[in-house]
Amino acid sequence: MTIKKFQGRTEEEAIERARAQLGTDVVIMNIKEIRPKGILSFLKEAEYEVTAAVEEKEQIVKPANFSIHENINFTADEPIEIPVPKKAEEKVTNHQADVLKEESRIRREREEERQSYYAAREGLEERIENLQNFLEKQLAPANNKEQQSPKVQEKENELSKEQAEGFKFLKMIYGILLENEVDEKYANMILEDIEKVVRTGSSVDYILSTIYQKMILKFGQPRPIELSNKKPKVVFFIGPTGVGKTTTIAKVASKFKVDEGKSVAFLTADTYRIAAAEQLRTYANILDNPFSIVYTPEEVNDAIAKVSDCDLVLIDTAGFSHKNSEQGDDIKRLIDSVDKKYEKEVFLVVSATTKYKDLLSIADVYRGIADYRLIFTKLDETSAYGNLLNLRLYSGAELSYTTNGQNVPNDIELFNTQKIVKQLLGGK
């Protein structure tokens, strides 16, 4: 992994510099505003500094191809408690009094371990809060060298104590990832390289920041709808029933129209339900957007041509069950019918509350319809965000937006990778 800092007069300029040097796969880890200092500071403009990373040969691994690392091979049903030290077990004799004494000692030790687990977990939230500061320090040139090759302690017993702490911490993080419904295979995949870091006796903060960075890279850089000079950009929203496609279209439209002053038109191909078209028409009226209904794939180009002076044409589709292949074929025909002269993008809208197994089938079925980017809705209805990572890794699709409530237009944001990763690691 390569991590570097880039500065610019705006966030975009700093990100552009990072892309120019590290390539388009670069992932932004952190954005910081640097306020000018000194007496004449008010004459100077603030600068922006981004921390960008790129991982070489990082690839999406599907569960079927994944082989679990032999050393960090945790399993879901493995208890998080630390095993009783071997020495204690050896001491157990057949003599009853000794056995009772030994049992009570083991129980006491277990209780102590449990207490220390909960204490460590409490401390974890604070560590995650301070993660950004730690990352900053870690990336400062003076500290870089030391952190790249953490000090190996000379005395063997000290080293093993630090390693034990590190593994204990790793195990706790593993448990938290599973609690948050990260697939066991992906949790192992994330933690497998971290073992090397733990073996060097690195601090818990360093281990945590390494896991954090690795997860940020796994999520990749989110990509929202990007307008080009070529008008109009045609954007489809596809996905299962009731996930929030129509509501999300209204939120996106408002963001572009009200916040960025762009012109937006709505088309709907959802003619399965009478109320569906009316729902979008209502939003069109509120936002004063052109609106029309497309009944057959053949009509789509005429409908786009009528609003071709708009920056953005958002097309709503009927939700369908991933088990209904016929409706899927209709949507594929509709998307494929769009004239090549138009730039088009497709977003698969999925709810963060959908069961993992169903999400995998949805990802597969919709892959047969078009290449898509992902929008996750209803983040407000779950506190376990593991599926966001699972689906990203399973489908390989890029991320774009998340929505977190029914309010139009406010409850939408660009996928906030830093925030999601912190929550997956046990932060608030």
Residue type, 405: G
Closer Cβ to ligand GTP, 194 or 412, answer by number: 412
Segment near ligand GTP (CB under 6 A), from 78-86, 243-251, 252-260, 356-364? Answer: 243-251
Query: Residues 364 to 383: which contact ligand GTP by CB under 6 A?
Result: 377-378, 380-381
Beta strands in 84-225 (DSSP E): none
Which of Mg ion, ligand GTP, none is residue 405 near (CB under 5 to 8 Å by kind)?
A: ligand GTP
Closest distance to ligand GTP from the beta carbon of 141 (Å): 43
Query: Which residues of the shown chain bind Mg ion in the complex (CB under 5 A)?
Result: 245-246
What are the backbone angles phi and psi of residue 413, rounded to the nearest 5°?
-150, 160
Task: Measure Cα distances from 338 to 294, 297, 312, 361 in Å.
Answer: 12, 8, 14, 26
Residue 335 three-state SS: helix
Among 131, 194, 243, 363, binds ligand GTP (CB under 6 A): 243
Closer Cβ to ligand GTP, 7 or 404, answer by number: 404
Among 23, 85, 123, 242, binds ligand GTP (CB under 6 A): 242
In a 10 Å sphere around its CB, with 0-12 CB exposed, 13-18 middle and 19+ buried, how is residue 84 labelled? middle
Rounded CA gap, 171 and 184, in Å? 13
Rounded CA gap, 155 and 161, in Å? 10
Residue 35 three-state SS: coil
Size of the site for ligand GTP (CB under 6 A): 20
Chain residue whose CB lies nearest ligand GTP: 319
Closest distance to ligand GTP from the beta carbon of 376 (Å): 9
State yes or no: residue 330 binds ligand GTP (CB under 6 A).
no
Rounded CA gap, 219 and 216, in Å? 5
Which of ligand GTP, Mg ion, none is residue 409 near (CB under 5 to 8 Å by kind)?
A: none
Radius of gyration of the chain (CA): 26
Which of Mg ion, ligand GTP, none is residue 378 near (CB under 5 to 8 Å by kind)?
A: ligand GTP
- Positions touching ligand GTP (CB under 6 A) are 239, 241-247, 270, 276, 319, 377-378, 380-381, 403-406, 411
